[in-house]
Amino acid sequence: MSISDKTRKTLWAKAGGRCSICQQQLVTDAEAADDEPSVFGEECHIVARSPGGPRAGQIGDEDPDGYHNLILLCRKHHKQVDDQPAHFTVERLRQLKRDHEQQEADRSGQIRLIPDPTKPTPKLLTVCVTGETLWSHLSGSHSFNPSWPGSLDDAQGDAVAGLLDELRDWLDVASEMSYSEGRSAAKELGERLKELVGLGLFVGVRQRHLMLAGGASEPTRWRSFDIQFQRVTEAELADENGTPYAASAT
């Protein structure tokens, strides 16, 4: 598994786009109109992924490509921390990361998600009749916000928890999956949805376009989605204009 887009965005934002050791800005503007900006920041593993790498074997059960095992550095300091693991221990690197991120938070404000003003959130949710509908919202998203009614029975609660656990497992890797892998995942989600309908629950989703603000000089786009569970007996179905189907039928 590689570093996910979600983890990369969070790491760069919290570090303010600066090296965690020298605080150098890691992006420079283009010098000519036809050039691209130069990015020389690197996402450095605190504990190496490979068995013979710097500080290897000191991570336990954590994901080696997870946010907690990464530190943003310039190329010079990336090489230095990997060449000098006796000095740049796991504890020292984690402390450097914490201190730098706190400094960036004090300077630029805490990292927060804010609505994207150019893409308002829909008022209605889309009922997930198929797994493909749910997968289309999950793929490309960085997070989701679940909600469900109170007083679910044990079977309903277990089914809701099972679907949410499955979504969390796929969230970071969905963008890297092949088309066939995505189709297989959608089919599995479809089976989960059938189980929920059989237990008397609808699943509705709604895309959210957010901005990850604070830390970095410019906010970055962050896709999320709401997923709501509603009892079939209480859900209100409407057309795309918000008109309830029962009302339109009369």
Q: How far apart are CA 115 and CA 121, in angstroms?
A: 8
Using a pLDDT cut of 90, give the percent of the chain over it. Answer: 57
Whether the CB-CB separation of 41 and 74 falls below 8 Å is answered with yes
Whole-model pTM: value is: 0.65
Structure confidence by residue, pLDDT tens digits, 18-77:
999 999 989 887 777 777 778 889 999 999 988 889 999 888 778 899 999 999 999 999
Count other Cβ atoms within 10 Å, centred on residue 36: 8
Q: How far apart are CA 141 and CA 208, in angstroms?
A: 9
Average pLDDT value for residue range 242-246: 67
CA-based nearest residue to 16, from 92, 107, 146, 95 = 107
The DSSP 8-state label assigned to residue 155 in this structure reads H
User: What is the pLDDT, as a whole number, of residue 217?
Assistant: 57
Measured in degrees and rounded to the nearest 5, phi and psi for residue 39 equal -110, 120
Tell me: pLDDT of 245 over 70. no
Structure confidence by residue, pLDDT tens digits, 174-226:
877 889 999 999 999 999 999 999 999 999 999 999 988 776 556 788 899 99
DSSP assignment of 64-104 equals TTSGGGEEEEEHHHHHHHHH-TTTS-HHHHHHHHHHHHHHH
Q: How far apart are CA 214 and CA 105, in angstroms?
A: 7
Q: How far apart are CA 61 and CA 40, in angstroms?
A: 30
Using a pLDDT cut of 70, give the percent of the chain over it. Answer: 93
Tell me: pLDDT of 249 over 80. no
Mean pLDDT taken over the chain: 88
Q: Quick one: pLDDT band at residue 247, thresholds 50, 70, 90?
A: very low
> Residue-wise over 137-154: b if at least 16 C-beta within 10 A, else e?
bbbebbebebebeeebee
Q: Which of 3-12, 196-205, 226-235 has the highest mean pLDDT?
A: 196-205
